[in-house]
Structure 1
Amino acid sequence: MIYWKKELAIEKQLGLKREYAATLSSLGILNRQIGRLDTAITYLSKSLELEKKFVPQNEIYIANIYHQIGIAYIEKLEHNLALENLNESLRLHKKHKENISSYEFGKLYNSFAICYARKNDFEKSLSYHEKALKFRKDSTLEQASTYQNMAISYINLNKLKLGIDLLEKAIEINIKFWGKAHLIIGDLYGNLGSAYGKKGSHKIAISYFQKAIEIKEKALREGRYTDIANEYFGLALSNEKLGYTDKCFEYLQKALYANSNNFSDTLNLNSYPSFSNNIDKNLTIQIANSKGIFFLQKYEEENNKADLHSAYKAYLYCDTVIEKLRKTVTSQKDKLEIGKNAFAVYENAIKTCFVLYKLTKEVEYSQKAFYFSEKNRARVLTEELTDLKVKKTGNIPDSLLKKEYKLKIDISNCQNLIHSAKTNDDLATIDSLQFAASREFDKLQTQIRESYPSYYKLFKIPVVSTQKLQTILDNKTAILEYFVGDNSVYSMLIAKNKIELFMQKKDPHFDEKINTYRQLIYSFSHEIQLFARKSHEVYNMIFKPIENHLKNIEHLIIIPDGILNIMPFESLVFKMPAREPEDYAELDYLIQNMQISNHYSATLYVENKLQKKQNFEYEFTGFAMQFSGDSGIVYEKKYREYVGKMSAMPDDDYQPLRETSRTIKKIAEIYDRNQRNNYRFTGQNATEQNFRKMKSSRIFQLSTHSFPNNMFPDKSYIAFEKPNAVTNDNNDGKLYFHEIYNMKLHADLMIIHSCMSGLGHIQRGEGVLSLPRAFVHAGIPNIIYTPWEIMEKNLKETLILFHENVISGDSYNLSLYKAKLRAIKNKLYPGQWAGLLLIEN
């Protein structure tokens, strides 16, 4: 390393730019190999910049640098950034395929496979391994390496025989080349241990782990570096399954020791290495999480409170590592992945706090249960909104903020072009442009962090405490936060003067019962008794334990989780009718007891609650799309296919909407009568371009079609009228999720009056990646949306009543509450009023 740096200094002094770039690349690879990943990426990125500047025609060399950067990002756990770099490398490899060896292609496909395996997408990993094998026909050792990696994917897919067979094949090949004591054989024995452990053959697993450790410990004594933590971790898990608890904890502590630098405490089970000393951060979290699980089990068996406190300490440590890991990651997709992987940790942490609170009644544990729940709740959205706020106050030059915004728009435009790409060549070109814009964006973020310390000092991702929450709540308002785990449902009620915790065993048909209840609402079932029974079942499942703790509460703010995000609480039947009802108005709904609204997290609720009130140019702006497309069976068939897959509509020939203009007109008349500024766009004027021009309105209402995309949330969109000619500024009549995300909207309420506007991919640890989320990011704090398909006329009356209440001075929540009560009184189906959900601050 020292000699490389000396060489670098000499080359810089002599102005040897090509040689200087090559040495930077070598230093990058060396730093990656010793685990200094940020330094490695810095060196490689500088090398790449120089190569592109001075020798742009040397694209083969540039492709290899992208590959090395991709590998560094894999090891840094930024898998989506890794894939972007690997894809750029692959594009250049294919462009110069006549001059690139099969060996290089094999290596690149192997890196793709490893990256997908790290993302837990094992099927895709296997597909890339198959590609790699085609380029590795001439190298038996390279084939053996691929067999080993394929085996790991098969094991994770529970295809254990296939995995074990491939591992044995790889062992046979490697023993012929290296003998029985080589480190590669140690790795393979460790993999076999994992396979047999997953199979339940724990004694065989232990024997393989011990063989692996014997080989690896000999290498360590000889001064050779090797990873041995996974083998200790495997030994711990198998010993626990065999009932050897003390050995399990001994090996867990040894695993922590082996997975860290400058940490040697293998005796104190409550001792943990610092974050900076951890080698594989994900493995550290897995080990500490396992310690927490086993300490909690030990407490349940032996009733020793010390074990419960040890479990608690394990989860405090896990949380510290997760939070610091989040800060090292820059890509939104990678941050979402961290949240998803952290879900199980926070479920176990919450359970531990619940047990401790029940045992001790100490308020610290109820507060910490809520804290852990919030840490797994819309964290990426919270971080992004914090970033936007801090950049306004961090003394960052306006020129840089404008440049940042332009790059966001460039990236968004590329995403639009990807949607409409006609050929693979077009797609490759657009991918390359998006990749370049994304890297420029990353460089700018680094510049802001390094050059403006006031930004970095201010940038702290908040987590609201229960104490802070209680100072904001009035005596008649409470927050109910859910955490839906794999085995239990946790709910936390925070009111002005109390905190209550509830834990229920999760019903084995939890999702099925909720989906049945939802379906009965939006299908307008005439079986009132069936609806009442199914609705009451869900009420008992998630709300019954809480009902006696809501005395004097008039407004309940629910922070849902999982499938609860797309379920209306208001139409839950809290009491079964004494006789068979003749109409829906006879049922006792939860909304008749209190106002209910939703939010992404208590933290965001508080952050938005503290924002200053704004002034707006218009009080109301309505868009009524009417469309003139195929209104018959053809559209219905296409739409049914779309709903089944929830991926993408085949085209934009939408079904006509005949009621929207009348609805918007009646609403506008309410504002006219009260001399409030309003504007409406109907028919051919209801275009995306006109929406983009409307910068300031207290309330926006979009009455249209919307199309969520569960597979690719960025491709979810709201439909506007087709423009007469598609301009080059992306006014194509489809306002995509990613476009909304990057907008700056000056409004207080967005009403998305369209089918399924609140649906989307339910991301564990984050919530629903849906259109309302995009509008919150764009600056609108209050959203009304729909969680299912709606008939345009069915919500018309409720919406008109809502606006009448708003104009009289009621809050959004009270306005919607009164409108829904009127709808119930008027004997409307629940689907005609419960299909409007509100996120309100």
Structure 2
Amino acid sequence: DIGSYEEALALAGACEQKVLNQGGKGTTLHADCLYTLGKINAESGGFEAAEEYLKEALSIRKQLFGEENEGYIHALIILGSNYTDMGSYEEAEPVLQNAVRLAGRALGKASRLYVRGLIFQGILYEGLGRYEQAERIVLEALSIVEEHFPEGDRFYTIIQNNLGVLYAQAGRYMECEQHFLISNTLVKEQYGENHLQFAGNLFNLGFLYDNTGRFAKAEECYLQSKGIVEQNIGKENFYYAGVANNLGLLYYHTGQLEEAERYFRESIEIRTKLVGGPHPNTATSINNLALVYEKMGRYEAALEQHQKALSMREGLLGKAHPEYAQSLSNLGNLKMKTGQYAGAESLYVQANRLWEAALGREHPHIAVNLISLGLCFSNTGRASAAAEALAEASGIQRRLLEKATRYLSENELAAYISTFHNQQDIIRSVSGRHSAQLPALAGLCYDNTLFYKGFLLNEAQRMRKLAIGTPEIQRQFELLSSCHRRLAGEYAKPLNERQETERLESQINELERSLANAAGGIAEAARQVSWREVQLRLPADGAAIEFIHYRQNFGLAEDTSLYAALLLRPGDTSPRWIPLCNGAQLDGLLENNGSGREEDINRLYAPGWGGTTAQSETLYRLLWAPLEEALEGILTVYFSPAGVLHRLNLGAIPDEKGRLLAQRFQMARLNSTRHLAAPSSPLEKADNALLYGGIRYEMDSTALARAVEGLPETTSVALRGELFFEPLDTAIGRGTTWAYLPGTAQEVKTLEKLFEDNEVTAETRMGYTATEEDFKQIGSSAPSPKIIHLATHGYFFPDPKDKGEALGEEAPFRLSEHPLIRSGLILAGGSHAWQGNPTPEGREDGILTAYEASRMDLSGTELVVLSACETGLGDIAANEGVYGLQRAFRIAGARNLILSLWKVPDRQTTELMEALYKKWLEEELPLRDALLAAQRHLQEEGWPPYYWAGFILLE
């Protein structure tokens, strides 16, 4: 029971020898010794020896007691399990069926032996890929245990684990994880953390995490499992071989191909040595080794291994098994890479037919295979067939992701979404190739972009709204989540076994309608939007543009980064696909001119500054010139950036005649053009504002204590604590050293008077009163103010390249893996902590991270102005845009944001902000026009783009 198998075998062998020495051959005691030897060998991987011992024990017990005897049935179950582990499924099935029948007849269906038989039958059918049959049997066992066995019974633990394995194999990850975690907790309590049972549970969790993109967690589980196995029974066993195989698969997924090859080879060697012939698990490792060779470009070696795995699976499992289908699909991928398209197509079609019969149509394998099939059609010039396959695959993947929102956290969702990136690149590559002859492909890409872009942000906003909703809304949402979980279970079943699908779908529709009525726009984030809905909201002279950034992927070796625009006008029968530029061209331009230095910024945005016009014209030619023809007659452009476009102010780019794009078009920058389809009210007239500026960043404990006196206690985010920071290098502008900014004091004083003159009640926080404690009270007891203006230092640190060398030398927030920790604002007293001093107990440190800001409720705020440096920057994620302050304030509920893209000069920023509010409040220009007019004001004064083009409006 504690996994010491060598010692157990020695003791059992000595016991048998003693019985034989005393003339006990063929007795009950002899049968017991043989049974024990068989059981230990079966558990430790000695399958052939186990079979021999168990058959002899069965013979003796049958002769002595007959078949309807508890000891006989026990041995029969272990023999059936042994055959399953050997991959001898045809021999295992009748043995286990007989054992279950005998147990039910002799001891009753509430007996432990009957349940044991059901458990091993479930494992057999899971191995055979007969998932619905396995689920039915395991759920029967669970029902008996829950009704008749004591709480905490170890059978309950085993069944929870087995259900997790079953659902993982069937792609039902939502149900899978909860069963694994329950089992893991119970195993730890019952066996401890050094037992093989616990190693098995860790192995299963690793499998789940690997398949949902949570690779760091997967590696942690696998390595811990591997260590336990080695410590208990060494390497020459099936347990170790299984962990080695899955570590290889994990390293394959993370691109560590040499490590992957090493582990796969080790797994194959151990399994071949133990079994002495073909085995399903050996076939799995051979298949995986083939994938590694394929990725290495060693196609001949890959073909040899793929064919070996296919042949082995056909002989052992039959052609109807899902793993046989997997081998067909993998072989198809290899043929695709080597240009054998006809052969690849045939294999993909066969694989899909087999998977659909075994798993149903809504399975991740089928979606990926359909995308491969669509690529195959594209490579042979069949655009219509490609579009059909890609559209179906896209629908499946969207539905899978929608289901995942019901059970994964934001980080886990991000990891899961990342597993779809490669498939989305293929869809975009095919669309770019065929969109001229088949415009529907551009429509598919637009719909996918609407779905994926900002998906996690939309989900975070939706959850925030629900979290602060009324008890009735919360109750309805909990009921809706429950229905979604049950419906996911229904969808995972074969068509002929679905009994509640229609009823649950109807109930979900009713609940979503009710939520939409009760909670306003809450349901909008969860609702899929199509390009046609966006088109309906466009004005007659308006156009919507979704910029996309992708890696060209036609199943070959090329890996080219490309930018394109999906442009939509009223009356278009489909969006237009417009290729823009190679990513390397744009990256090179920004590397040469994107340091944030004044001369570099001016080269990017203004002809005549910096001594040349070539760079700004190049930026125009790369990103906008290709759109000119499609934008003829258009006055308003709603656009959503992608990739490094997030770091550019497109409106500040001059065309060939030197006119800014923002002077030719109304430029509306959006997170996603899906927001055009959502009902929205116009910007409300502001009646109150809260201003922060003229902040004192040095520590004055008395002044700070006086400033926060009487404020309620704030709850610090868990990631914060006693931090030690390294000060930044000195440079000009906000956001370098935390020096006092005299311009910000003048800025907020001027704005306070301007607001009062325009009937806007303004409160100002200056000096030591502009504390982090004060800021975090916003929205906690009353609606947040309509305007929040922050004139202060801001910071942003990119993802650190090598944390190992920097640990202990730099601030934890600077090294954090969480991008919302590496971006923030500095408030009163912030320099004290920044310079490496501990924060007084019970006090905030004066450094407001984006993560902290995202946890606030700013749903009453129409406009947040971040009059600080680099507040628009952050890590750029594939579909999520910028992870930084802009994301934080959007999650918190602010409707509109004005942010900066580079270090902004103090005096000119103050002038720009004053002009902005005058245009907006006094002249009543729309906010978008007010910002443009303020920027034009500085431009007309002779200031180059560095001084005004850094600010953008995110609507």
TM over 0.5: yes
Where in structure 2 are the equivalents of 1:453-492 lying within 5 Å? 454-457=510-513, 459=523, 461-486=526-551, 487=560, 488-492=562-566
Deviation at 1:806, TM superposition (A): 0.5
Q: Which residue of 2 aligns with 1:399?
A: 471
Where in structure 2 are the equivalents of 1:211-360 lying within 5 Å? 211-221=308-318, 227-261=323-357, 274-275=361-362, 278=363, 281=364, 283-299=365-381, 307-329=382-404, 330=406, 331=408, 332-359=410-437
Provide closer, same or farther for how the CA distance between residues 168 and 713 of structure 1 changes in structure 2, counting only shifts above 3 A: closer
- Between the aligned partners of 1:355 and 1:314, the Cα distance in structure 2 is 16
Deviation at 1:391, TM superposition (A): 10
Where in structure 2 are the equivalents of 1:161-240 lying within 5 Å? 161-221=258-318, 227-240=323-336
From 539, 559, 562, give the equivalent of 2:643: 562
- Between the aligned partners of 2:858 and 2:689, the Cα distance in structure 1 is 18
From 671, 680, 685, give the equivalent of 1:600: 671
Q: Residues 251-273 of structure 1, C-alpha deviation per residue, up to 9 Å, x if partnerless? A: 1112223333368xxxxxxxxx6
Instruction: Calculate the aligned-residue CA RMSD, in Å.
Output: 5.0
Q: Which residue of 2 aligns with 1:494?
A: 568
Q: Which amino acid aligns with 2:818?
A: F
Q: Secondary structure at the residue paired with 2:698?
A: coil
Deviation at 1:826, TM superposition (A): 1.4
Deviation at 1:149, TM superposition (A): 1.9
Structure-2-length-normalised TM-score: 0.66
> Is the counterpart of residue 590 in structure 1 residue 668 in structure 2?
no
Q: Which amino acid aligns with 1:250?
A: S
Q: Which residue of 1 aligns with 2:226?
A: 133
> Is the counterpart of residue 773 in structure 1 residue 857 in structure 2?
no
Q: Secondary structure at the residue paired with 2:639?
A: strand
> Is the counterpart of residue 107 in structure 1 residue 200 in structure 2?
yes
Q: Which moved more, 1:711-720 or 1:170-179?
A: 711-720
Q: Which amino acid aligns with 1:603?
A: R
Q: Which residue of 1 aligns with 2:848?
A: 734
Q: Which amino acid aligns with 1:538?
A: L
Contact 1:520-1:531 at 8 Å conserved across structures? no
Deviation at 1:505, TM superposition (A): 4.8
Q: Which amino acid aligns with 2:312?
A: I
Deviation at 1:482, TM superposition (A): 0.8
Deviation at 1:349, TM superposition (A): 3.1
Contact 2:778-2:856 at 8 Å conserved across structures? no
Deviation at 1:284, TM superposition (A): 2.1
- Between the aligned partners of 2:587 and 2:894, the Cα distance in structure 1 is 31
Q: Which amino acid aligns with 2:594?
A: R
- Between the aligned partners of 2:271 and 2:858, the Cα distance in structure 1 is 59
Q: Which amino acid aligns with 1:622?
A: L
Q: Secondary structure at the residue paired with 1:250?
A: helix
Where in structure 2 are the equivalents of 1:27-46 lying within 5 Å? 35=131
From 846, 854, 862, give the equivalent of 1:748: 862
- Between the aligned partners of 1:628 and 1:205, the Cα distance in structure 2 is 62
Q: Secondary structure at the residue paired with 2:925?
A: coil
Q: Secondary structure at the residue paired with 2:924?
A: coil
Q: Which residue of 2 aligns with 1:629?
A: 698
Q: Which residue of 2 aligns with 1:661?
A: 745
Where in structure 2 are the equivalents of 1:631-710 lying within 5 Å? 638-639=727-728, 655-686=739-770, 687-693=774-780, 695-708=783-796, 710=799
Deviation at 1:222, TM superposition (A): 10
Gaps of at least 5 residues in structure 1 are 264-272, 300-306, 406-438, 577-586, 643-648
Deviation at 1:720, TM superposition (A): 3.9
Q: Which amino acid aligns with 1:681?
A: R
Q: Secondary structure at the residue paired with 1:827?
A: coil
Contact 1:24-1:43 at 8 Å conserved across structures? no
- Between the aligned partners of 1:675 and 1:802, the Cα distance in structure 2 is 17
Provide closer, same or farther for how the CA distance between residues 183 and 613 of structure 1 changes in structure 2, counting only shifts above 3 A: same
- Between the aligned partners of 1:24 and 1:791, the Cα distance in structure 2 is 73
Contact 1:196-1:205 at 8 Å conserved across structures? yes
Deviation at 1:243, TM superposition (A): 3.4
Provide closer, same or farther for how the CA distance between residues 78 and 770 of structure 1 changes in structure 2, counting only shifts above 3 A: farther
Q: Residues 637-691 of structure 1, C-alpha deviation per residue, up to 9 Å, x if partnerless? A: 533699xxxxxx9xx9955444323211111211222333222222333322442
Q: Secondary structure at the residue paired with 2:869?
A: coil
Deviation at 1:526, TM superposition (A): 7.7
Contact 2:428-2:550 at 8 Å conserved across structures? no
From 612, 620, 641, give the equivalent of 2:689: 620
> Is the counterpart of residue 812 in structure 1 residue 812 in structure 2?
no
Q: Residues 576-605 of structure 1, C-alpha deviation per residue, up to 9 Å, x if partnerless? A: 8xxxxxxxxxx6543343342310111123
Contact 2:333-2:344 at 8 Å conserved across structures? yes
Q: Which residue of 2 aligns with 1:838?
A: 953
Q: Residues 545-575 of structure 1, C-alpha deviation per residue, up to 9 Å, x if partnerless? A: 1134434434322211122122211232433
- Between the aligned partners of 1:510 and 1:101, the Cα distance in structure 2 is 53
Q: Which moved more, 1:493-502 or 1:289-298?
A: 493-502
Q: Which moved more, 1:101-110 or 1:538-547?
A: 101-110
Q: Which amino acid aligns with 1:117?
A: D
Q: Which amino acid aligns with 2:941?
A: N
- Between the aligned partners of 1:507 and 1:452, the Cα distance in structure 2 is 43
Deviation at 1:820, TM superposition (A): 0.8
Q: How many percent of aligned residue pairs carry the same amino acid?
A: 15
Contact 2:697-2:828 at 8 Å conserved across structures? no
Q: Which residue of 1 aligns with 2:875?
A: 761
Q: Which amino acid aligns with 1:665?
A: K
- Between the aligned partners of 2:369 and 2:849, the Cα distance in structure 1 is 44
Structure-1-length-normalised TM-score: 0.74
Q: Secondary structure at the residue paired with 1:508?
A: helix
Q: Which amino acid aligns with 1:285?
A: A
> Is the counterpart of residue 373 in structure 1 residue 470 in structure 2?
no
Deviation at 1:117, TM superposition (A): 3.3
Contact 1:197-1:205 at 8 Å conserved across structures? yes
Provide closer, same or farther for how the CA distance between residues 136 and 357 of structure 1 changes in structure 2, counting only shifts above 3 A: closer
Contact 1:806-1:812 at 8 Å conserved across structures? yes
Q: Secondary structure at the residue paired with 2:534?
A: helix
Provide closer, same or farther for how the CA distance between residues 90 and 482 of structure 1 changes in structure 2, counting only shifts above 3 A: same
Deviation at 1:173, TM superposition (A): 1.8
Q: Residues 672-725 of structure 1, C-alpha deviation per residue, up to 9 Å, x if partnerless? A: 223332222223333224423562433221223445575313535444436998
- Between the aligned partners of 2:479 and 2:840, the Cα distance in structure 1 is 31
Contact 1:629-1:653 at 8 Å conserved across structures? no
Q: Secondary structure at the residue paired with 1:780?
A: coil
- Between the aligned partners of 1:29 and 1:211, the Cα distance in structure 2 is 26
Q: Secondary structure at the residue paired with 1:501?
A: strand
Deviation at 1:158, TM superposition (A): 5.1
Provide closer, same or farther for how the CA distance between residues 170 and 501 of structure 1 changes in structure 2, counting only shifts above 3 A: closer
Contact 2:543-2:636 at 8 Å conserved across structures? yes
Q: Which amino acid aligns with 2:584?
A: P
Provide closer, same or farther for how the CA distance between residues 614 and 37 of structure 1 changes in structure 2, counting only shifts above 3 A: farther
Provide closer, same or farther for how the CA distance between residues 343 and 150 of structure 1 changes in structure 2, counting only shifts above 3 A: closer
Contact 2:209-2:218 at 8 Å conserved across structures? yes
- Between the aligned partners of 1:538 and 1:38, the Cα distance in structure 2 is 60
Q: Which protein is bigger by CA-based radius of gyration?
A: 2
Q: Which amino acid aligns with 1:514?
A: L
Contact 2:691-2:764 at 8 Å conserved across structures? yes
Contact 2:730-2:737 at 8 Å conserved across structures? no
Q: Which residue of 2 aligns with 1:270?
A: none
Q: Residues 379-415 of structure 1, C-alpha deviation per residue, up to 9 Å, x if partnerless? A: 33345556778999xxxx932546899xxxxxxxxxx
Contact 2:544-2:637 at 8 Å conserved across structures? yes
